[in-house]
Structure 1
Amino acid sequence: MNKVVLAYSGGLDTSVIVPWLRENYGCEVVAFVADVGQGAEELEGVEAKAKASGASECHIVDLKDEFAANYIYPSLKTGAVYEQSYLLGTAMARPVIAKAQVELARKVNADALAHGCTGKGNDQIRFESCYAALAPDLTVIAPWREWDLSSRESLLDYLAERNIPCSASLKKIYSRDANAWHISHEGGELEDPWCEPSDEVWTLTCAPEQAPDRPEYVKVGIEQGAVVRVNGEALSPLQCLAQLNALGAKHGIGRVDIVENRLVGMKSRGCYETPGGTIMMHALRGIDELVLDKMTRSWKTQLSEQFAQLLYDGRWFTPNQASVLAAAESLSHVATGEVVIKLYKGNVTVTQKCSPYSLYSEAFATFGADNVYDQKHAAGFIRLYSLSSRIRALKQTDNV
């Protein structure tokens, strides 16, 4: 290898990977940092840190708007939720990061890509599946599957032996991944499913017990399956998400504690905080209730499960993804309207909803008198609907 572009975060793992690549592959290392909305604190000093560990260059690429508009919003239109709980924040960010990493590799004429994912997790598959689709000619290096370093202690010792500065320490017990959509937490006490997460686990949202005692209402405007307004103000996808994140976090919205099935076969426990995303999902479901008929809603449920699975499994750049997104997009043409949502101590409740494409008709649904529905017609419908059951029962009594 002559030049490798490393997906670099500035954390302990990638701080070790930079000198390890230079020593074991004799190559130049270019650090690539993706800004997907993890926050200024995580990005502060990252360029200096990368160069101090041996990187020849460090490129910080702002992907926040692209992430929100081209990955989060399309995924929202499908309604994807993994295993009924996880809103796919980590999985959703990987394709936009991998794509930008490949683009940088082409720009600097690199012949290899590297990442800091372990051999136990999903992210190695997500990144490398994207690499395969976008740059099959580039070699992929995954140090965690090659080196003999096996613990946090050994990584810290590796840096200390080379006098490479690192702010990491043995006191960090949680593994976290943050972006504009969510923050995830793994490790520490969470490795025991019998252990309730402590207050130290949660970093984004207020505990529901400590949330305001008065509910807050937020009006969400939706056009063709996309959230475009918050409390009447037109905003970009990233701005909508930021506003709803702040509102949801204040009221303890969007906490999830799940033991999930990883793609590699093992189960893992993760705690996720997705306040704005949770509000968006409820708002979009509220509109779907109005505009989609019974069979179409059932079909969208199938699409949602399909998309959640392919997104979790790292199959973004595939015909499967394109076809499911196309189907979801076709259903979103009528997903326009406004929803009022009540936020209260961790709960999200849709209290009002309207749409110009609503199939709800008070004239038909009313319990009062009406002039549009003849209840006698239901008898014939029920007789035909249950005809197979009637024939089966008659045959069992030998009457037919």
Structure 2
Amino acid sequence: MSRKGTVKKAVLAYSGGLDTSIILKWLVEEYGCEVIAFSADLGQGEELDHIPEKAKKTGASKCFIEDLREEFIRDFVFPMFRANAIYEGRYFLGTSIARPLIAKKQMEIAKAEGADAVSHGATGKGNDQVRFELAYYHFDPAIRVIAPWREWDMNSRTALEEYAKKHGIPVPTSKKFPWSSDRNLLHISFEGDILENPWSEAPEEMYALTKRPEDAPDTAEYVEIEFKNGDAVAVNGEKLSPALLLAKLNVLGGKHGIGRVDLMENRYVGMKSRGVYETPGGTILEEAHRAVESITMDREVMHLRDSLMPRYAEMIYNGYWFAPERLVMQTLIDATQKTVNGIARIKLYKGHCRVVGRQSATDSLFNVDFATFEADQVYNQADAEGFIKLNALRMRIAAIQRAKK
């Protein structure tokens, strides 16, 4: 038995970077357990190269790489976008929405492999520890969770590098970029280093998915996105799977410098932190989705759904994807999307995307006979007088009472 207690087998959420490589070795050394490495392919591309080789060299008994791209967009990103969920008015929740899926698959592997523990590389200061662990306990309330950053005494980059050298873990001699990043099909995020000064502009070399808007094409580009029941199904008439569709929008948005956000956000654990995000495809998708909603959704249904959006976004940010209140709210949101069928036309130009057209052959609530500024035979404008007087009644009564004083 190790001094940390009895753990026979642990599944580690493994990125292949220095931190999780150290965690892998640390688990073997400190817990004396078998460690299975797991990496989720969410669209981070070349970052997954050589993962199995690195994991096994560091002590993993097995390494799983799961292609979760379609599931990620279909079952996590698209349901979130039906709500137009944006945290604190700016953040498209790209990292937040990925964590419950990673945890779900990690727990599936733990069950299949007979593991009695799971582990992650999230720090004790951030949101990810909450997101991972709430999901773990949803699937197995008795699972042992090992969070090394909350246990070990390595609290600096130097300490990590010394541990790595001691155990033969390769340490980069020079790091091309000093900030940390997290990438998937929905976005890429950046934190740390120069970004910890909220007055300093993010350096241009940081951006990975988008052109500098000033360098984007001088000619605008138009894109048409078709929706069915609130989900995007085609771009410029081409039917695409969820992951391929978002990947295509990422290319279009990146070309035109769309989707850059620099914000100070409120972490769930209580502190403010600065993040820089690139969400090119998601920015276009949200604009297009709202455009189709604007012509197909009933006013009061839309306003009710919009009133729930801040709470819904907060639940995702804080890690409550599998919580009963999120599931109940999702049922209502999905019901609002049954009529969201149509096409949006979006104009892309130098960092901006805006709707310039929308149509729905089956569910449009726009009727030119009622809305026209020209002569019509269906709307009696004189009826508005009574409507206004009835709605003004409480204000008229208040005015009468003030006049008596």
> Shorter-normalised TM-score: what interval?
over 0.9
2:197 corresponds in structure 1 to 192
Q: One-letter code of the match for 1:144?
A: W
C-alpha deviations, 1:63-114, integer Å up to 9, x for none?
Answer: 1111111001111111100000000000000011000000000111100000
For 1:169 and 1:177, the matched residues in 2 are separated by 19
Structure 2 residue matching 1:248: 3-state secondary structure: helix
Structure 2 residue matching 1:105: 3-state secondary structure: helix
For 1:64 and 1:154, the matched residues in 2 are separated by 35
Q: Does 1:360 align with 2:366?
A: yes
Q: One-letter code of the match for 1:386?
A: A
1:282 corresponds in structure 2 to 287
> What does 1:50-199 align with in structure 2 at a 5 Å threshold?
50-167=55-172, 169=174, 172-199=177-204
Structure 2 residue matching 1:380: 3-state secondary structure: helix
**Bigger CA drift: 57-66 or 97-106?**
57-66
Contact 1:11 1:168 in 2 (8 A): no
C-alpha deviations, 1:340-384, integer Å up to 9, x for none?
Answer: 100000101101101121221211111111111111100000000
Contact 1:341 1:350 in 2 (8 A): yes
- C-alpha RMSD over aligned residues: 1.2
TM-score w.r.t. length of structure 2: 0.96
For 2:177 and 2:58, the matched residues in 1 are separated by 20
For 1:172 and 1:380, the matched residues in 2 are separated by 66
C-alpha deviations, 1:170-222, integer Å up to 9, x for none?
Answer: 55411100001110011111111101111122111101011000000001011
Give 1:142 deviation, angstroms.
Answer: 0.2
Q: Which of 1, 6, 15 does residue 12 from structure 2 map onto?
A: 6
For 2:397 and 2:94, the matched residues in 1 are separated by 51
Contact 1:214 1:344 in 2 (8 A): yes
TM-score w.r.t. length of structure 1: 0.98
Q: Does 1:320 align with 2:334?
A: no
C-alpha deviations, 1:25-79, integer Å up to 9, x for none?
Answer: 111111011111111x101011111111111111111111111110011111111
Give 1:157 deviation, angstroms.
Answer: 1.4
Contact 1:156 1:169 in 2 (8 A): no
C-alpha deviations, 1:105-143, integer Å up to 9, x for none?
Answer: 011110000000000000000000001111112100000
**Bigger CA drift: 167-176 or 339-348?**
167-176
For 2:224 and 2:169, the matched residues in 1 are separated by 51
**Bigger CA drift: 223-232 or 354-363?**
354-363
Contact 2:302 2:336 in 1 (8 A): no
For 1:135 and 1:14, the matched residues in 2 are separated by 23
Contact 2:370 2:376 in 1 (8 A): yes
1:343 corresponds in structure 2 to 348
1:293 corresponds in structure 2 to 298
> Which aligned segments of 4 or more residues in structure 1 are displaced greater than 3 angstroms?
166-172
For 2:287 and 2:104, the matched residues in 1 are separated by 30
1:21 corresponds in structure 2 to 27
Q: What is the number of equivalent residue pairs in this alignment?
A: 398
Q: Which of 299, 305, 312 does residue 310 from structure 2 map onto?
A: 305
> What does 1:207-218 align with in structure 2 at a 5 Å threshold?
207-218=212-223
Structure 2 residue matching 1:387: 3-state secondary structure: helix
Q: Does 1:244 align with 2:220?
A: no
Structure 2 residue matching 1:334: 3-state secondary structure: coil
For 1:340 and 1:158, the matched residues in 2 are separated by 54
Q: Does 1:33 align with 2:39?
A: yes
Structure 1 residue matching 2:145: 3-state secondary structure: strand
Q: Which of 229, 237, 240 does residue 234 from structure 2 map onto?
A: 229
Give 1:24 deviation, angstroms.
Answer: 0.8
Structure 2 residue matching 1:311: 3-state secondary structure: helix
For 1:168 and 1:394, the matched residues in 2 are separated by 79
**Bigger CA drift: 216-225 or 148-157?**
148-157
For 1:31 and 1:168, the matched residues in 2 are separated by 25
